[in-house]
Structure 1
Amino acid sequence: MTRSIDRRALLGVLSTSTAMAAFGGRAGAQGPQAALTLGPAQAFDFEGLKTAAQRKAGQPYVPSPRPDPVILEKIDYDAWGQIKFDTNSALFKDAGLPVTFFHLGRFFQKAVEVYAVENGQARQVVYDQRYFDMPADSPAKALPKGVGFAGFRVQEPRGGALDWRKNDWVAFLGATYFRAIGQLHQYGLSARAVAIDTAVYGKDEEFPDFTQVYIEKPSAGARTITVHALLEGPSVVGACRFVMTRGKGVVMDIDQTLFLRKAVNRLGLAPLTSMYWYSETVKPTAIDWRPEVHDSDGLAIWNGAGEHLWRPLNDPAQITASAFGDDNPKGFGLLQRDRVFDHYLDGVFYDRRPSLWVEPKGDWGKGAVQLIELPTDDEDHDNVVAAWVPQAPAAAGARFDIGYRLYWLADEPHPTPLACCVATRLGRGGQPG
C-alpha cells in the first residue's frame, strides 16, 4: 500500500470549514489571474473512452508517472499545505460550478491528466506553477514544467456570488478515491471506483489510479457537473462517468465499464470506505476521552427480497469479512445514524459526517454485499470497506458493466417504513457482582 497522509489532517484540509485557509489562495482577491493553458482540442465522448480502456486492457500495465520523486518526497504535509491554489485561475470560473486543483506532494505523487470538455472537444489543462501560491522556498518550485495535478475539487456558491471560492462540495484525490459533503456540509467517508483484492490472504490489495479525467463545462447556474475518468491498474482498466448533482446533499449517477487484465479474487464494485474505531456499542475502558469516534456506525442493506438489514460496525481483534448473499439488491450503504454532538465531543464533528447509500441501476444479479473490517487503534486510517462482490468469476479478460447512484445524505434515501435501529449495546454475559 502506498504511504497515506494522516487522515484527520486530510479531512481537515478537505473540510469546507477550512478550505479557504488550506487551499483558497487569494480567495478574496480579485487581482490578475494566471490564465489556464489548454492543449490542442481533440474529439471526446464516453463511448470513445470505453474503447480506449478496452484497448489498454490488452496492453502491459504502465504505472502512473511520478514526476521527480526526490522532490515530491520533500513536499511533506506542512509544505503541501502551504501550496494554495489561486481561485482566480479556476477552471470554468465563470460557470456555475468552478473547478480547482490539488498539487502533487509526498502523499499524492501520481499525476493525473485533466481535460476540459466543451461541445464534444477535450483540451488538456497544462500544469503551471503560476496557478498556485507557494512560499519562495517551497520544494515544489524545483519541479519541472507540466508535471500534472494530484486531483481536483468542485466549488459552489452558497452565501454570495464570490462565495464559491471557499466552498467545495466534491473532491477527487488519490488512487480512485472521491468524497462529497452531505446535507450537513461535512466530509467523512469515501467512495472508490473499484476495489481489487481487499483483505485477500497472501495478496496485497491493489489500488488502481485515475490517470485521465475529463470534466465537462457546466452551464451557467447549473447544479450538475459531469466528469469522465479512465482508471488503470495492474489487474484492471476501466472507464467511468460521474453525473454529480448538488441538491439537499449530493447525488452521483455513475456508469462504469471495467476490463480485467488479470484474474481477481475479490472484485469489489461500488466500494465504500470508512473509519470506525469505537462507539457506545462496545467501548474498551480508558481508550480515549471521547465517547465515540467513527465516520459510520453501521452497514444498512435493502436486499432483493425487500428486507431491511442492519449490521453495527466493529473494531475487530483481527481482519474479518462478512458476506450478505443476495440477488439483485435494492441498495446498501454505510450510515452515520448517531447525530448527537455530545456523543462525540469532537470539533471535527463526527455527528455531521454524511451517510453514503448505493442504489443499483438495473439488475446486478447474484452476489454478496461484503463488509471488511480491519483492526485499528486510532482514527487516522480507514478500516471499513463495504462493496458488492458479484458471483460471476472475475477472470482475466472479463468485462463488467455496472451502473448505480450514490446518495451522500444525512440518512438513507429509502428508509424502512417501520422502526430502525439507531444504537446497539453489547457486553459480557455472566453473573454480576
Structure 2
Amino acid sequence: MRGKGRGRAIVGAWVLAGGALATAHAFDYADVIGKARQLAALPFKPQRRIAQLAGLSYDEYRSIHFRPTATLWPRRRLHLQFFAPGYRFVRAVSISLLAAGHVHALRFRRSWFHIPPGLYPHHLPRTIGYAGFRVLYNGYHPGRSPVAPNNQVIVFLGASYFRAKGSHEQFGLSARALAVDTIAPRPEEFPHFIAFWIRRPAPRARALTVFALLNGPSVTGALRFRIHPGRAVHVRVRATFFFRRRVYELGMAPLSSMYMYDLCDRRPWAYPRPAAHDSEGFLLASRRAMRWRQLANPARVHQFVFPVRHLRGFGLIQRDRDFFDYESISMRYQGRPSVWIRPRGAWGPGKATLIEIPTPNETNDNIVAFWQPARPPAPGRAYRLRYTLIWNGPGPRESRAQVVRTRASARCTGRPVRFAVDFQGARLGRLVAARRLAARLRTTAPGTPISHVRLRAVAHDRVRLCFTVAAQRPRALRIRAVLIAGGRPVSEVWDYVVARAEPPIQVLRRPRGGT
C-alpha cells in the first residue's frame, strides 16, 4: 500500500507541476504534423539556450543523477526517467504526458535529481525543461529493481539523436531523425527535437508511443515512435518533414557509429586490444543481393554511394560477439547492438550512402550511413517516410551465407594485398566437400591480377576464401567476392576498398580507465 500511495503522489506532483490541459479530442500524430507545418511557414528561431548550465564539464554533468524514487509509472511495465540540462545539452526541450484526454506539460523539478553542491545556480526558472528522457522496461531483468539501469530500453538525448538496446546488450551506435549536409560546402546542420509528447501506457502494456516535433534552419518534422522492447528492440517510425529550403545533401534514417580498427587493420601501438569498434560493417539489401562492406578508419574522409532501385534494408552491424574478439573489460564491444533499418512501404529509387571519417580515438562517432531519395523533397511540400529500426545483436538473419571475418595484409595500394575472408552458412561445408562451391571475384580495374585463389572449409558451416590482389596502381581499388553454387549466389557480396596510399592518422594514447 505504501508503494501505491507513493506512485499516486508522484503522478499528482507531475500534474501540479505542469498543469493539465484538456483537449477536445485525443492528441495524436496529426496534431504534431499540424505544428510542424505551421513552424515551417515561420522563419527559423533556435530554442532558448540555458547559458547558466553551458559551463559544466563532461565529468560534472555525469555526476548529476536522476533519483529512482521519482521514476514515472514505477508499477507499470514501462517507466520514464529524465535527464537534467547541462554540458552540451542546454537547449530547452518540452516534454508532455498524454493521459485520459489531457496533455500534462512537465516542468523542471530540481528535487528529482541528485545534483552535487555548486553545480547548479540556486535560482533556475522551472520552465527550462529537460535535456531528454529514457524508457525502462521491467521485463528485461524481472529479478532486479524495476528502475535498475540495466532495464533501459531507449534514450532520447541531444539534437535529434536516440539509441536503444536489447535485453542482453549495452548501448552503442545512435540513430537520428534526419541528416542535413553531412558532406557539403556549408557546415552540417543538426535539427533538434524541441518537444515530446509521451502517451501513458496501460498497466501491462509492452509498447510505448512517443511523438516528437523537430525544428532546424532548413526543415521541420513530426515523428511518431512506437517502441517495442525485448531481446531485440523494434522502433516503428512514421516521419513527416517540411523543408524551408533546399539542402545540399539529405540523409533519411541516418545512423552514427564508431570504428577505430579491427583485425584487417594495423593495430595502433597505444592500443593492445585486437579490435575497437561499435560496428564492423555496413550491410545493404536490395531485391537481388545482400552486400557487406567492411568499415575502415581512413586517413581522409571517404564517401561511398550505392545506387538501389528497390531497397529492402540497410544497417550498421556488429557481428563479432565474443569477448576475445576485443578483450576489453571496460568497453565490452561484444555487447554493442547492430541496427537494421527496414522500410515500410516502397521508398522508390535512391542511394545508400556510407561516410567514413578519420578518428584518433574511441570517443568520436566517425561512421555515418543513411538513405538519399533520387528526388530530393521540394520546399513547402510534405515528405513522408515509414520504417522500422531493429536493434539486436548480430543483425538480420538471411538464408544466404554471411561474411563473418575479413583479414588483409594492407589497407593501401602500392603492393600486392593478401586477403582471407570467412563466410558462414549452414550448407557451406557440404558444398565444399562435394566440390560444388566456387568464388567469383571482380575488381573495378579490369586486368588487375588476382592470384592464389583458394576456397577451403574451416568448419562444417564455415569456409575461408584466400586470394592475392596486385594492387600496385596509385588509385583506390574496389574488390567484390561472392560464393556461387549451381550458377547462383549463395552468400552475401563481400565489398572491399583498398585505398590509395595515404599518410597514417595520428593515433592518441589509449585513455585511462582500464582495457
Q: Any residues of structure 2 matched to 1:31-430 within 5 Å, and which?
A: 35-36=13-14, 37-43=17-23, 44-67=27-50, 69=51, 71-157=52-138, 158-160=141-143, 162-166=145-149, 167-200=151-184, 202-303=185-286, 305-346=287-328, 347-413=330-396, 415-428=397-410, 429-430=415-416
Matched position secondary structure for 1:98: strand
Q: Is the 8 A contact 2:68 2:147 kept in 1?
A: no
Q: Is the 8 A contact 1:75 1:140 kept in 2?
A: no
Compared CA separation, residues 398 and 328, structure 1 to 2 (3 A): farther
Read off the aligned partner of 1:156 and give its amino acid letter: Y
In 2, Cα distance between the equivalents of 1:280 and 1:269? Answer: 31
Q: Is the 8 A contact 2:311 2:343 kept in 1?
A: yes
Q: Is the 8 A contact 1:39 1:126 kept in 2?
A: no
Q: Is the 8 A contact 2:226 2:237 kept in 1?
A: yes
Deviation by residue 1:364-418 (Cα, 9 ceiling, x = unmatched): 00101100111111111101111010011233224210000000001223x2312
Gaps of 5+ in 2: 1-5, 419-515
Aligned residues: percent identity?
A: 37
Matched position secondary structure for 1:41: strand
Q: Is the 8 A contact 1:199 1:319 kept in 2?
A: no
Gaps of 5+ in 1: 1-28
Q: Is the 8 A contact 1:278 1:314 kept in 2?
A: yes
Deviation by residue 1:242-266 (Cα, 9 ceiling, x = unmatched): 0000122210010000011110111
| TM-score after normalising by structure 2 | 0.74
Deviation by residue 1:74-127 (Cα, 9 ceiling, x = unmatched): 322232222221222222333221100000112211121000011342211111
Matched position secondary structure for 1:126: coil
Deviation by residue 1:4-44 (Cα, 9 ceiling, x = unmatched): xxxxxxxxxxxxxxxxxxxxxxxxx99x8693222231432
In 2, Cα distance between the equivalents of 1:185 and 1:356? Answer: 12
In 1, Cα distance between the equivalents of 2:145 and 2:193? Answer: 30
Compared CA separation, residues 142 and 381, structure 1 to 2 (3 A): farther
In 2, Cα distance between the equivalents of 1:321 and 1:394? Answer: 22
In 2, Cα distance between the equivalents of 1:120 and 1:271? Answer: 34
Matched position secondary structure for 2:340: strand
| TM-score after normalising by structure 1 | 0.88
In 2, Cα distance between the equivalents of 1:343 and 1:160? Answer: 30
Matched position secondary structure for 2:324: helix
In 1, Cα distance between the equivalents of 2:135 and 2:55? Answer: 28
Return the index of the structure with the highest Cα Rg: 2
In 2, Cα distance between the equivalents of 1:42 and 1:175? Answer: 29
Read off the aligned partner of 1:95 and give its amino acid letter: R
In 1, Cα distance between the equivalents of 2:122 and 2:372? Answer: 44
Matched position secondary structure for 1:406: strand
Matched position secondary structure for 1:35: helix
In 1, Cα distance between the equivalents of 2:126 and 2:300? Answer: 46
Matched position secondary structure for 1:417: coil
In 2, Cα distance between the equivalents of 1:276 and 1:161? Answer: 33
In 2, Cα distance between the equivalents of 1:127 and 1:339? Answer: 41
In 2, Cα distance between the equivalents of 1:328 and 1:400? Answer: 19
Q: Which moved more, 1:277-286 or 1:331-340?
A: 277-286
Matched position secondary structure for 2:54: helix
Read off the aligned partner of 1:35 and give its amino acid letter: A
Q: Which structure: greater strand fraction?
A: 2
Matched position secondary structure for 1:162: coil
In 1, Cα distance between the equivalents of 2:42 and 2:373? Answer: 25
Offset at residue 291 of structure 1 (A): 1.1
Read off the aligned partner of 2:181 and give its amino acid letter: D
Read off the aligned partner of 1:331 and give its amino acid letter: G
Offset at residue 172 of structure 1 (A): 0.3
Read off the aligned partner of 2:159 and give its amino acid letter: A
In 1, Cα distance between the equivalents of 2:43 and 2:227? Answer: 32
Matched position secondary structure for 1:74: coil
In 2, Cα distance between the equivalents of 1:400 and 1:250? Answer: 26
Higher RCO by CA contacts (8 Å cutoff, separation 6 or greater) = 1
